């Protein structure tokens, strides 16, 4: 699916829904996804995040930010997709705190709610992992991070299909 189709599907699901996290937990969790109506221009995006892959540009052209599968009752689940400006600030903060794990081209685009995991997109077009999506773990070194998708659209497709579940942890 394209980024536009994925965002449209999230907007269609934006009312509160319930789902069961796992077969072991019979509790139904209520969640909501919210997508900002604001967007950025392509020039602003390319200025803020040079080397930005096309699907990340598409995301920010359509919406500045989004909160996906936010746990309404406890607030301990979900993903905040950051605006370009917040992404730059989060990337600078990440770089200063994780100097040994940070690589040029890392761009923090999301923060998982309830833990300190970060969603990174590789934005160095000269590297073979350009556009890849990683989940940076708060304590673990880079070699232990999850490589979750080859692109942001692939990640969002899997994340939406898993209804906000961390599908990469099941592997």
**3 state SS of 56:** helix
Which CATH number characterizes residue 68's domain? Answer: 3.40.1580.10
Q: With a cut of 60, say whether residue 137 has pLDDT above it.
A: yes
Convert the pLDDT of each residue in 11-63 to its tens digit.
Answer: 776 554 444 343 334 456 788 888 888 888 888 888 889 999 999 999 999 99
Beta bridge partners of 110: 81, 119
What CA–CA distance (Å, rounded) separates 136 from 144? 9
Number of domains forming the structure of the chain: 1
Give domain status of residue 49, yes or no.
Answer: yes
Give domain status of residue 30, yes or no.
Answer: yes
Per DSSP, the chain holds a count of helices (H) and strands (E) of 5, 8
Give domain status of residue 169, yes or no.
Answer: no
Helix axes 54-62, 152-161, angle to 10 degrees: 60
State which residues form the domain around 99.
3-164
The DSSP annotation for 52-107 comes to --HHHHHHHHH-S-EEEEEETTTS-S-EEEPPHHHHHHHHHHHHHH-TTT--TTEE
């Amino acid at each position: 699916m394209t980024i536009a189709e994925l965002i449209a599907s999230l907007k269609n699901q934006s009312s509160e829904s319930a789902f069961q996290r796992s077969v072991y937990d019979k509790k139904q969790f209520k969640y909501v996804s919210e997508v900002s109506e604001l967007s950025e221009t392509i020039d602003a995006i390319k200025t803020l995040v040079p080397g930005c892959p096309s699907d990340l540009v598409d995301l920010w052209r359509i919406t500045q930010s989004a909160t996906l599968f936010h746990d309404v009752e406890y607030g301990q689940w979900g993903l905040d997709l950051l605006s370009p400006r917040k992404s730059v600030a989060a990337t600078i903060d990440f770089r200063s705190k994780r100097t040994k794990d940070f690589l040029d081209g890392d761009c923090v685009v999301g923060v998982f709610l309830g833990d300190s995991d970060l969603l990174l997109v590789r934005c160095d077009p000269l590297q073979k992992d350009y556009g890849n999506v990683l989940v940076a773990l708060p304590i673990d070194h880079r070699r232990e991070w999850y490589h979750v998708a080859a692109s942001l659209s692939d990640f969002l497709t899997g994340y939406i299909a898993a209804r906000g579940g961390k599908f990469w942890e099941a592997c």
